[in-house]
Amino acid sequence: MHFPFTEEDVGWHWLGGSLSFEVENGPSPGRSPPDPQASPGLVLLPGGPPGQRRESFLYRSDSDYDASPKSMSRNSSIASEAHAEDLIVTPFAQVLASLRSVRSNFSILTNVPTPTATKRSPVGSQPPLCKAMLSEETSQQLARETLEELDWCLDQLETLQTHRAVSEMASNKFKRMLNRELTHLSEMSRSGNQVSEYISSTFLDKQHEVEIPAPGPKEREKKRRQPPPMGQISGVKKLPPGSSPGGSSVPRFGVKTDREDLLGKELDSLNKWGLNIFRVSEYSNNRSLSCIMYTIFQERELVKTFKIPVETLLTYTLTLEDHYHADVAYHNSLHAADVMQSTHVLLATPALDAVFTDLEILAALFAAAIHDVDHPGVSNQFLINTNSELALMYNDESVLENHHLAVGFKLLQEENCDIFQNLSKRQRQTLRKMVIDMVLATDMSKHMSLLADLKTMVETKKVTSSGVLLLDNYTDRIQVLRNMVHCADLSNPTKPLALYRQWTERIMEEFFRQGDRERERGMEISPMCDKHTASVEKSQVGFIDYIVHPLWETWADLVHPDAQEILETLEENRDWYHSRVPPHSPSPPPAAASPPPQHRFQFDLTLEEDEEGQEPGVYPPPSACNTPRLVHQPYVTPPEQPPGRPPEEEEEEEEEQNGLGGGYAVGEW
C-alpha cells in the first residue's frame, strides 16, 4: 500500500535554524540562518518519479497494513499527473494520510468550508470542490469510501499499544517484511539459507540460545591470569614516549611523514565522498585516523571555537589511534578514519547547512572517531557466547559499543589528552550524552529500529500540510545525527568500487578469523564466518538489498536531492556483485569443513504481545519483553527433481528468476 502526494504537497528544503536547547553553543560563524525568524526545520522535497531507481523491499505490499484501496485512487485523482508521487510506507503516516482524506471528504459532503489558515489546510493549489458539483451517485460513493477509510483508521488505532512509540509500528512492520524476504531466500539454496541466518542474527536484535563449550587447557590457563577488576576499563595503555609532536614542530596534517606533499594531494578530497583512505594511510605512516581527525578539526575551526590546545589534540588523536588494533583486519583505525571522514561530508551536505551547531558537529565527529576503539575483531554474539569479561560487564547489551564509549572517554583522562578541557560543564554533559547516543546507535542489532524511527519521522511530516520537519528538540536532532553516523558506518557499498572491494576483502578476512576461532573451540560457526561455505558475492547483493539500500534510500529522502549520486553508485556496485555471483553455492571440502546443518530454517517473526505467555525458564531479550523475536522452523525438503535435471542447474535457474538476497555487514557487526 502507498499514499501518493503531489510535488506541491511534499516539497522539501531546509529552513535554516540554530539550536535552542544548547544555549552555551553561541552563534556558529557561517551557520546563521538566512531568516532569523525561521524555526530550525526541514520542508520535504519530492523524490524522483517512480521507476527511475530501484526501490527497496520496504515498498512492497504488506497485507497487515494495507489501507482501503480507495485511498490510493482518491489521492491519485487529486494529484497532478505532471508530478511524481511519494509513497508512504510507515503505518502511522498512513493513518495520518487517511484521516486527512476523511477530513477533506467530510468538508465536501457537508458543505462546510475549510478554513484557509489552519495547519490542516491543503498546501497545494487544488481546485475547490463542493457537494453541489457532485452528482447524487458520486456523492453517495464518496460517502461510502470515506466511511471505509475511517473504519480502516479506527482498526489501526484500536490495535495500538499505548506504551509503545509509533515508530515501533514501522519497526515491527519492516522486520516482518524482512523476515518474509529471508524466508524466501533461505528456501532458494544452501548459501541463501546461510546469508539469511546472518542477516537475521545481526540486524534483527535476535538473541541466540547457545551451549557454551567447556574451556580447553589454553582457555583455562588464560583465566588463571589476573584479569582486570570488573570496575576497571580494560585496554587502556600509555602513548609511547616521543610519539606526540609538540612545540613549534607541529606537522601540517598532524602526523610525521616524509610524504607530506602526496598526503596533501589526497587530502584535497577531504570534503568529497569517496576519499581514498587507503592512500591517506600509506602516506601518513599508517596514521590515517590521527591525520583525518586533526585535519577535520582544523578545517572546521573546532580547535579555535572550543579552544582545544593543538598539542593536546595531537596527543589524544595518536593515543586513540594506538588503541585500535592494527592486527584486526576491518575494525581498525582505518575504518574509524573512513567513518569520520564520511560523517564530515554528510554534515556538510547542502540540505543540512545551518542546521547543526558546532557542539553537535564536534560530538558527531568525536563519536565517529571513537566508535570502534579497542575492537577485538569478533562480534558481540561471540563475546556473549564465550562468557567474556566484557559481556559480563555490560550484561550482554551492546557489549562492544559500550566498551568503545568507555575507552574513548577514559582516554580523555590520560596525560595531556583532554581535548574538551575548555568546554563548560553543561557543554561537556551535552556532548557526552550526544556521543553516547550516537555510538550506541552503531550496534547493528538496532538497525531496523533506527531505520523505522527515521522513516516514520520523515513520512509523518510529509503527510502534514505544513510539510516542515521541525528539529527544535533534542530527540529529533539526535535522531538525525544517530542515523548520519549509522549511514557513515554502512557507507562502504556507496563508495567507488575499487574502495568497496578492498573493504569487502577486509571484512571477510575478519569474519573468517572469527569462524576459525569458533571451529577451534568446537562452537557452531557464525553465519558468513565459515571460509569453506561463504558466498561473498551473493552476500554483498543481499546486504545492499536488505540493509544498505533501505537505509540510504531513507537518508536520501531526508536530504533530497543531495544524495542521488551516492544512490547511483550503490546501485552500480550492487549490479557489479550481482553479475559475479557464482553459478551455484560453494561446497565445503570433505575434511576441513564444519558439519553440515541438519535442516534449513524458515524465519518467522513473532511479536510477543503478552509477557505472561512466557514459558517457564525462557527469558525475553534484555532490551524489552515485547521485542520481536525470530522463531526457527525446520525447512521442508522440496519434492525430488525429475531425472536428468541436476539440482545445481535448478538452483541456478531459480536464483536467476528470484534475484539474490542476504548479506553481511561491510561496515559493522
Which sequence positions are flagged as catalytic?
Answer: 331
Burial class (CB in 10 A: 0-12, 13-18, 19+), 547: buried
Is the distance from CB of 365 to CB of 344 less than 8 angstroms?
A: yes
Write out the H or E segment, with its range, that includes residue 12.
strand 12-15
Which phi and psi angles does 603 have, rounded to 5°?
A: -100, 110
Is the distance from CB of 41 to CB of 464 less than 8 angstroms?
A: no
Give the residue among 114, 228, 193, 237 at the shortest CA–CA distance from 600: 193
Q: Three-state SS for 175?
A: helix
Cell of 509: 578476512
Cell of 148: 471505509
> Do β-strands 41-44 and 12-15 pair in parallel, antiparallel, or remain unpaired?
antiparallel
CA–CA separation, 160 and 149 (whole Å): 17
Helix, strand and coil content of the chain, in percent to the nearest 5, comes to: 50, 5, 45
Q: How many CB atoms lie within 10 A of CB 178?
A: 24
CA–CA separation, 445 and 171 (whole Å): 12
Cell of 35: 531568516
Helix 91-110 to helix 166-186 angle (10° resolution) is: 120
CA–CA separation, 143 and 94 (whole Å): 20
Most distant CA atoms of the chain, gap in Å: 89
